[in-house]
Amino acid sequence: MNPMSKTIYVAVGVIISTNEQQLTQYFLTKRLQHTHQGGKWEFPGGKVEKDETVAQALYRELKEEIDIEVLTCSLLTKINHTYAEEQGEDKTVCLEVFIVDNYLGEPSAQEGQGQGWFSLEELLQLNFPKANEAIITKLRSQTL
């Protein structure tokens, strides 16, 4: 790993809903174009701030980003991924990914980004940041 690399800790929520046909769907947001990995779909969440637990960050970020209140969640997986940047400085993300299937409110993107509910099969067709691909792999392995 590049000594110039820094690790960013991120809390991620896999928001799940089951529709009338008993099909599981996942809520995604689309990154704004001007951001890192802009234009790609992602599971909502955000950086863990100083003096904040991962759970606190998840609750805060999901309230700010998609206006839901998490009631309960469970850890799905942890992912470490390094993005090589053009300026020679690597960016490593450590994602702690939680299943969120018990919440108040209807998810709605609050920052002007795209949003949508997708089936597991539809997730396979979308463009995600590389670090998110492991989440989809994990979800697929649990439904087989």
pLDDT band at 125 (very low <50, low <70, confident <90, very high): very high
Q: How far apart are CA 70 and CA 49, in angstroms?
A: 18
Each domain of the chain, given as residue ranges in start order, spans 6-143
Kind of pairing between the strands at 45-47 and 6-18: antiparallel
Residue 21: its pLDDT value, please?
75
pTM for the predicted model, two decimal places: 0.87
Superfamily of domain 6-143: Nucleoside Triphosphate Pyrophosphohydrolase (3.90.79.10)
Flag whether pLDDT at 144 surpasses 80: no
First-to-last CA distance in the chain?
A: 35
DSSP string, 41-76: EE-SEEEPPTT--HHHHHHHHHHHHH--EEEEEEEE
For the residues 89-109, what does the mean pLDDT come to? Answer: 91
